[in-house]
Chain A
């Protein structure tokens, strides 16, 4: 019964949202008002929540008569993984997507009460809930022959990070719908006066969750996939990075719109670009058109419907946009040293970066179509060589951008000179610190972070001197970027590795560590068995043991390697194992200096974002 109730509630939510959209479109067309009150969101949210809970109950009760549960869970799975297994596949993760979309709709309604905003949120919800009900019903039954046991959750997903990474990311993706709906609402409703600051705040909400979600994914891939990499330029990673970049641009553009009443058309278009890019990502991943580490079942029908949704949203929003009256004040931007111009630079570079990454991601598809079915892949070097130069300029302009004033209050040239002086001084000091392993990439890294830090330092100094309030959330977010760039630059230029066969009586050295293989133990856990391979590690002042694992998951008959990691802020020692050979193990040992700064930086960035949300709540 429970799965049927779940489906019923999902259909109810779909009906409420489409009823609101259709009924109100009709009455708006006839009488220029809405007949259905947006208060309906309470009922709407409740039904999505209940639908979600019904699927959770099916998972927790091991109801393998539900196809989706049978495919993604198993009775031996620990309860918390059963709970998380809901988002382990396509159908359930779409339900989670709908739950968050309805949650944001409710919160948006409570905060803004704009019935137009709710209208556009409901348009998007109707499209996606229709998609779920008609092509990806998670409540589908396997009757009368239901299996005894489940096929199990993919072993790669049986990990702590899996319980938090997808929900965080989905909170970010779904929150992108709110700025879009606000922009559309403004196009229709001239009286929505504080739309730009609303839009900015909601972009920050989405951006903070995306930042956190992407960083969690990167951290997870780092320790779980066993290669020691933290970013693979996989299509799925790219399709989270592109909306993030556009959201970053959107925040800045919306600030300019709310403070100076400029770029308002651009802000509307960017909010459309942000959700469309997230849908393109969804399409790339869910249609199976590109191969990626996040494999979902190939399903051309789903892909086609997603493509239809993308095209519909595009045409629908451009139609509304083109019939709207949005007026910028007559000047576009002030002098070259004004904040307006630096926000323009910010947006140009961020969008170029997003487009370049998108291009590399979809190029294999374009190529396949135009070459008559030839398969290609675009390698990591493409993405590295395109992103680094653009990111360099972004960092460079970012620092001084922080110091600029809006054109109403001119920016002093004195600040520019101070900025350049501190930038150069700091780059030199940092380079001396790393003199032992100096290289071009280290100098570039130093230049990038010095530029951001110089901007932040002078900004703080000026605010304190003139006893003006500091924008702490801005400072944290930009500081986080500097920390992340430092981590990326240092780990990429200083990492080292050794691949060899480790024998029992032959220790090997890596950096300051002396590592020796001690032997292995068999271990049986609840849902897998494993070989625990023990390493003794010695450095100048201490000695410790690290355990790497080879796990065998009997239900899915798959083998997984768990790397042994000795983490610290200064460097990670990362040992992964290959096959067992006669007397020893094939071992890859890596040193990852400062790799933790990447995720620490992301945490600081997200903290800055949440700080601004907190302020927005209070105001």
Chain B
């Protein structure tokens, strides 16, 4: 084999090797970090399997928001007008968090208590904007 052909082969092998490593990296990273979206009804019908965090979304039920007086613990109920689940959260709520407005909570779901321990609460910026997933869940 000519010298430059051999060198080209090294280059190709290098690219294949790196791509394979990257593929493995991506495969494992995506497996653990996908957060499925559930509406409250989905959570009743078909609760999540596995240990990944999930996202649950719906409307914040009117009158359900409870705040602790001496800590940042917050509890409220998300509903899709058919079923509802409880959400617990510690921290600051986003500016657009309102009762009867759309919200998406990310966290770990407890099947026995039907409640979500959220570590992130998202409400969208636009005042009449309901997150895409929540809108779909409400229309079901």
Residues of chain A having any CB pair with chain B under 8 Å? 154, 156, 226, 291, 293, 295, 330-336, 341, 344-345, 348-349, 352, 355-356, 359-360, 363, 367, 373-379, 381-382, 385-386, 389-390, 499-501, 556-561, 576-579, 581-582, 586, 588
Contacts and interface: CB of A to CB of B under 8 A. Distances in A.
B95 A576 contact: no
Chain B interface main SS type: mixed
B11 A381 contact: no
Contact of B11 (A341, A367, A377, A579): A341
A267 to B, nearest CB: 16
Given A578-B72, A578-B93, 11 more contacts: A154-B125, A331-B4, A332-B8, A348-B19, A356-B26, A360-B26, A381-B29, A382-B29, A390-B25, A558-B127, A579-B93
22 contacts: A154-B125, A293-B125, A332-B8, A333-B7, A344-B15, A352-B18, A352-B22, A373-B136, A375-B36, A375-B37, A375-B132, A376-B34, A377-B34, A379-B33, A379-B53, A381-B32, A382-B30, A386-B25, A386-B29, A501-B70, A557-B127, A578-B92
Given A332-B7, A375-B133, A499 B22 contact: no
Nearest to A550: B95
Given A293-B125, A359-B26, A375-B136, A330 B4 contact: yes
A374 B26 contact: no
Nearest to A586: B92
A378 B18 contact: no
Interface residues of B, number: 43
Given A332-B7, A356-B25, A375-B133, A501 B36 contact: no
A389 B15 CA distance: 16
Contacts of B53: 379
A389 B23 CA distance: 13
A356 B63 CA distance: 44
Give the one of B7, B18, B126, B129 with max A CB within 10 A: B7
Interface of B: 4, 7-8, 10-11, 14-15, 18-19, 22, 25-26, 29-30, 32-37, 53, 55, 67, 69-72, 90-93, 95-96, 106, 124-127, 129, 131-133, 136
Tell me whether chain A's interface is mostly helix, strand or loop, or mixed: mixed
Given A356-B26, A375-B37, A156 B125 contact: yes
Given A356-B22, A379-B33, A581-B69, A559 B95 contact: yes
Given A341-B11, A558-B96, A559-B95, A377 B72 contact: no
A558 B55 contact: no
Contacts of A560: 95
B30 A586 contact: no
B72 A499 contact: yes
Contacts of B25: 356, 385-386, 389-390
Nearest to B93: A578
Nearest to A356: B26
Contacts of B18: 348-349, 352
A582 B25 CA distance: 49
Contacts of A556: 127
B22 A291 contact: no
Contacts of B10: 336
A348 B15 contact: yes
Q: Which 6 A-B pairs have the closest CB atoms?
A: A578-B92, A375-B37, A382-B33, A331-B4, A352-B22, A559-B95
Contacts of B136: 373, 375
Contacts of A348: 14-15, 18-19
B92 A499 contact: yes
Contacts of B4: 330-332
A295 B8 contact: no
Contacts of A500: 71-72
